[in-house]
Amino acid sequence: MTELYAVRMDVALPPDMDPAARDDLLAREKAYSQQWQRSGHWPHIWRCVGQYANLSVFAVDSNEQLHQILWGLPLFPHMSITVTPLAAHPSDIAQDPAHKSTAQTPAQDDAAQ
């Protein structure tokens, strides 16, 4: 079974970090992240605007697997992480395939108030 989690990661690197060490660390972080993205277990990663932070969604087998992935992040010692377990939402049209056939734009009037 696949479990979904929203994960926010805030990064705080020491301002005086050695530039070469920093470049190496960030290169390893990127490679590690992309490896897991390609596996399908890290389907979404977005930058939070104006922050050294990302909001990600993970699709994993278990709490255990999620912890192993996060613990293995090269930036883990420099991160503050929050984890929100997710479940299907009863209003999600993906839960009700019939809805998918008639995509249309809601009248803007409906939303204006």
Residues 54-83 that bind its own copies (CB under 8 A): 54-55, 61-64, 66-72, 76-78, 81-83
User: What minimum distance in Å lies between the beta carbon of 65 and its own copies?
Assistant: 8
Residue 6 CA neighbour count, 13 Å, CB half: 7
Check binding of 20 to its own copies (CB under 8 A): no
**CA distance linking residue 41 with residue 55, whole number of Å:** 14
User: What minimum distance in Å lies between the beta carbon of 85 and its own copies?
Assistant: 4
DSSP letter at 2 equals -
Q: Which member of 19, 20, 92, 97 binds its own copies (CB under 8 A)?
A: 92
User: What minimum distance in Å lies between the beta carbon of 86 and its own copies?
Assistant: 4
**CA distance linking residue 82 with residue 76, whole number of Å:** 12
Residue 41 CB neighbours (<10 A): 16
What number of chain residues touch its own copies (CB under 8 A)? 71
DSSP letter at 105 equals P
